[in-house]
Amino acid sequence: MKKVLLIASIFASASLFAQNTQCISKTKAGDRCLLTVNSNDLCWRHNPEYVKKTKVVSTICTGTTKAGSSCKSRTKSSTGLCHQHKAKN
């Protein structure tokens, strides 16, 4: 019984530190939005200032191997070099 009360009190205190609250906006059906928010009162779906993060497309490394052939590793770096060739420059 003590163990259950201890675990319940830990979860209750942890929830006090969490700043997640429910979105204040309403859905098309008139129900309250169920998404949680961290900082402001609107979720990503209802916030008109929300900007979706752009995906970075990976490319093949432009470096060359010791044998002189082109590197076959993929990278998302803007330099076009994989982690091995980037460390050399």
Instruction: State the average pLDDT for the chain.
Output: 82
CB proximity list for 35: less than 8 A, separation 6 or greater:
22, 23, 43, 44, 45
Which of the four pLDDT bands, split at 50, 70 and 90, describes residue 71?
Answer: very high
What's the half-sphere exposure (Cβ side, CA atoms, 13 Å) at 63?
20
Mean pLDDT, to the nearest integer, of 12-16? 52
Indicate whether this model's pTM tops 0.85: no
Which of the four pLDDT bands, split at 50, 70 and 90, describes residue 38?
Answer: confident
Cβ density class 31-50: b for 16+ within 10 Å, e for less: eebeeebeeeebbeebeeee
